[in-house]
Amino acid sequence: MRLGTVRRNGTTQAFRQENGATTFLPAKDVGELLLREDWRTLAGEAGQEPAAADLDTPILRPGKILCAGLNYYAHAEEVGQDVPKHPTIFTKMHNALVGPSDDVQMPEASRKIDWEAELTIVIGKTIRKVDEAAAKDAILGYTVMNDVSVRDWQGRTSEWFQGKNWDRMTPVGPVVVTADEIDPEDGLAVECELDGVVKQSGTTSDLIFSCAKLVSYISEFMTLEPGDIIATGTPAGVGLARKPREWIPVGAELVTRIEGIGELRNKCVAEPAAG
Amino acid sequence: MRLGTVRRNGTTQAFRQENGATTFLPAKDVGELLLREDWRTLAGEAGQEPAAADLDTPILRPGKILCAGLNYYAHAEEVGQDVPKHPTIFTKMHNALVGPSDDVQMPEASRKIDWEAELTIVIGKTIRKVDEAAAKDAILGYTVMNDVSVRDWQGRTSEWFQGKNWDRMTPVGPVVVTADEIDPEDGLAVECELDGVVKQSGTTSDLIFSCAKLVSYISEFMTLEPGDIIATGTPAGVGLARKPREWIPVGAELVTRIEGIGELRNKCVAEPAAG
């Protein structure tokens, strides 16, 4: 099953896809849909599959947007870090999100903008202090994020937040695929292309901390709730680690693709002068 | 003017205080109240000032809870850091918040729990890329936070998030005092007491980055919106920097006080076994 959010009739609306059929549902986005117990069976209006260009990010305003850092062996190595003992967790805020075909806004204040393709967990249950089996059971599904990063601001202080939270710079989507259809432990291909050139080509088999482990770890200290999302880190191949370093040029097309889910396809454009 | 949220009639309700009079307003908390243009004059029901024990945290679910680190000269020095060139910004999530008289939950997983009294900004306008004058104008008022921190988890990775986001560990309140009544640039006393012993006694005159500077800096990369809150960092005297180190014992009473706003008074109790 796939869940998404489409821009339609001047507003947004959640939809569900199963066995090739699309049903538009009475919820403004997947976030609102998941607050209902009956989201799998809720009646709606049958329709055509939405065009990619009409999709919004599935959850417009997640309760939490958590991100794991340094979670692929080859990526930790390329940035000169030891294999970590504990997951590194940081956050994004809703203002950073854009849809799967939207423009990514490139700031005037930096040109050191980097790509980070990431498998992203969507939480389906309220949990606290759960083991890995219960954590896996609380994963509703998966989507795709590109954790586009402003590297000079990220490195200004120990805390990466200010390099990760520029307005409208983080595409997430195109849809949420439920966990009964794909399993990252089977090894899903994670790819990032910049203007048609493959920059990252990894597999979720190389995650240091599995999705279940990440969810269990976070649940040790905080309650996770339906609609919370957790980006699981990026594989090797980021611009920061290349010699020479590479950054996203204004005007580039950034494609982020995960096997079994779909792709983000975003043009990277200069942000409006007025901010 | 003071704004707060009280637990009343089985739910929560915003209230406004001016010239000694309390008015209960048609909004579930200060966050919902601030979405209205007319919050300063909105009609309500006159009543008695709520008891401290009945107060909830003013904004139950802020759109963003941002925190500045290393923002007092003496605190940066006591933890061995140079005076920073840029503000350090990290975040909390709503699950961490408790009200001004609520129990602070002490986790089983750590006993290295520390105090951090912090003046906290409440944003009143939607802003992006504003200078310090416009940033100051966007500050609706101020409240008090104790950024209670789990030091061993905070230090597990470069990112402090997992030491700062334990459920129900961060008291915020008791009310929001509007910016026409107090100005941190005048030097407000910031104090923290543990079981009646003063542990922190600072003044907002010693902030490295002023409130206006912090808001302007953050607005360079992200939109700030009404109800967003920004804790401005803690003065010297934290347990981590004491010799020997000191931590909050289970059962302690933690008092956090800022001149012109009021105080948080929280009992620190073991969290329920079920989490």
Residue-wise pLDDT for B90-112, tens only, equals 999 999 999 999 999 999 999 99
Residue A96 to residue B69, Cβ atoms within 8 A? no
Q: Does B153 touch chain A (CB under 8 A)?
A: yes
B70, B208 contact by CB (below 8 A) = yes
- Kindly tell me if the per-residue pLDDT of B71 is higher than 80: yes
| Bridge partner list, A143 | A120
User: Helix, strand, coil % (nearest 5) of chain B?
Assistant: 20, 35, 45
Domains and CATH numbers, chain B: 1-56 (no CATH), 59-270 (3.90.850.10)
**Any A CB within 8 A of B93 CB:** yes
Q: Kindly indicate the confidence band of residue B275, based on its pLDDT and cuts at 50, 70 and 90.
A: very low
Sign of the torsion formed by the C-alpha atoms of A110, B226, B58 and A219:
negative
With H, G, I as helix, E, B as strand and everything else as coil, classify residue A177.
strand
Residue B237, min C-alpha distance to chain A (Å): 22
Inspect the interface and report whether the beta carbons of A165 and B88 lie closer than 8 Å: no
**B159 in contact with A at a CB cutoff of 8 Å?**
yes
Position B273 confidence tier, pLDDT thresholds 50, 70, 90: confident
| pLDDT, average across residues B196-218 | 98
Interface membership of B270 toward A (CB under 8 Å)? no
Q: Would you call A81 an interface residue with chain B, using a CB distance cutoff of 8 Å?
A: no
What pLDDT does A273 receive?
A: 74
CA–CA separation, B268 and B247 (whole Å):
12
Q: Round to whole Å and give the CA distance between B194 and B204.
A: 20
Residue B142 C-alpha from the chain's centroid:
8
Would you call B157 and A88 a contact, using CB atoms and an 8 Å cutoff?
yes
What residues in A contact B158, CB-CB < 8 Å?
88, 158-160
Query: Closest approach of chain B CAs to the CA of A161, in angstroms?
Result: 6
3-state secondary structure A32-98: HHCCCCCCCCCCCEEECCCCHHHEECCCCCCCCEEEEECCEHHHHHHCCCCCCCCCEEEEECHHHEE
* Confidence at residue B130, expressed as pLDDT on a 0 to 100 scale: 98
> Each residue's pLDDT tens digit in chain A (275 positions)?
999 999 998 999 999 999 999 999 999 999 999 999 999 999 999 999 999 999 999 999 999 999 999 999 999 999 999 999 999 999 999 999 999 999 999 999 999 999 999 999 999 999 999 999 999 999 999 999 999 999 999 999 999 999 999 999 999 999 999 999 999 999 999 999 999 999 999 999 999 999 999 999 999 999 999 999 999 999 999 999 999 999 999 999 999 999 999 999 999 999 887 54
Residue given tokens 């003044």 in the structure block: B203
How much is the pLDDT for B13?
A: 98
Chain A nearest C-alpha distance from B219 (Å): 9
Nearest one of B113, B230, B245, B121 to B166, comparing CA atoms? B113
| pLDDT at A272 (0 to 100) | 81
Q: What is the dihedral of CA B45, B49, B53, B54, to 10 degrees?
A: 0
Using the Cβ of B155 and the Cβ atoms of chain A, whether some distance falls under 8 Å is answered with no
In Å, how far is B217's CA from the nearest CA of chain A? 10
Which of the four pLDDT bands, split at 50, 70 and 90, describes residue B274? low
Q: Are strands B11-18 and B21-24 parallel, antiparallel or unpaired?
A: antiparallel
Looking at per-residue pLDDT, the higher value among B275 and A131 belongs to A131
Report the residue count for chain A: 275
Non-local CB neighbours of A78 within 8 Å, separated by 6+ positions: A236, A237, A238, A241
Average pLDDT over residues B225-240: 98
Please give the structure tokens belonging to residue B118.
């912090």
Q: Do B93 and A221 lie within an 8 Å CB cutoff? A: no
A87 in reach of chain B (CB within 8 A): yes
CB atoms within 10 A of CB B79: 12
The 3-class secondary structure across B197-243, one letter per residue, is EEEEEEEHHHECCCHHHHHHHHHHHCCECCCCEEECCCCCCCHHHCC
- The whole-angstrom distance between B90's CA and the closest CA on chain A is 6
- For residue B55, report the phi and psi dihedrals to the nearest 5 degrees: -80, 140
Segment B14-36 mean pLDDT: 97
| Predicted pLDDT at A200 | 98
Half-sphere exposure of B22 (CA within 13 A, CB side): 13
CA-CA distance, B102 to B96, in Å (whole number)?
Answer: 12
Q: Check if B209 contacts A (Cβ < 8 Å).
A: no
A-interface mutation test, from B158, B169, B216, most A Cβ less than 10 A away: B158
Of B90, B60, B10, the C-alpha closest to A156 is: B90
Q: CB distance from B60 to chain A under 8 Å? A: no
Residue of chain B whose alpha carbon sits nearest to that of A160:
B159
Q: A218 to chain B: which residues are within 8 Å by CB? A: 162
How far is B21 from chain A, CA to nearest CA, in Å?
35
Q: Do A64 and B157 touch (CB under 8 A)?
A: no
Residue B272, pLDDT score: 81
CB-closest option in B63, B86, B221 to A166: B221
Interface pTM, i.e. ipTM: 0.97
| Cβ-proximal residues to B32 (8 Å cutoff; 6+ apart), any chain | B14
What whole-number percentage of chain B has pLDDT above 90? 97
Element (H, E) at A151: helix A151-154
